[in-house]
Structure 1
Amino acid sequence: MNVKPTLLFTSVVASTLLISACSSSPTGRHQVLLFSGAEMSELGAQSFEQLKTQETINQDPKVNAYVQCVSNAITARLGPQPDFNEWEVVVFDSEQVNAFALPGGKIGVYTGLLKVATNQDQLATVIGHEVAHVTAEHSNERLSRSKITEQGLAISSMAMEGSEYQSMTMAGLGLGVQYGVMMPYGRAQESESDIVGLRLMAEAGFDPTQSVELWKNMAKASGGQQPAELLSTHPSNSTRISDLQKEIKKLPKTTAKRQQCG
Structure 2
Amino acid sequence: MLGLFEALRFAFGTLSVLPVRVSRWDRPTAGRAMAIAPVVGVVLGALAAGVAAALAWADGGSLLAAVAGIAALAGLTRGLHLDGLADVADGLGSSRPPAAALKIMKASDIGPFGVLVLLLTLFAQIAAVARCFDLGLEKGAFALLLAGAVSRTTLLLGCRDGVPSAREDGLGAMVAGTVRGRHVALIALTTVTVLALGAYGLADSGGNRLPLALGTLVAAVVAIALASLLLTHCVRRFGGMTGDVLGAMVESSATAALLVWTLFAAATP
Q: TM-score, normalised by structure 1?
A: 0.29
Q: Which has the higher helix share?
A: 2
Q: Which has the higher strand share?
A: 1
Larger Cα-atom Rg: 1
**With CA pairs under 8 Å and 6+ residues apart, which has the higher RCO, 1 or 2?**
2
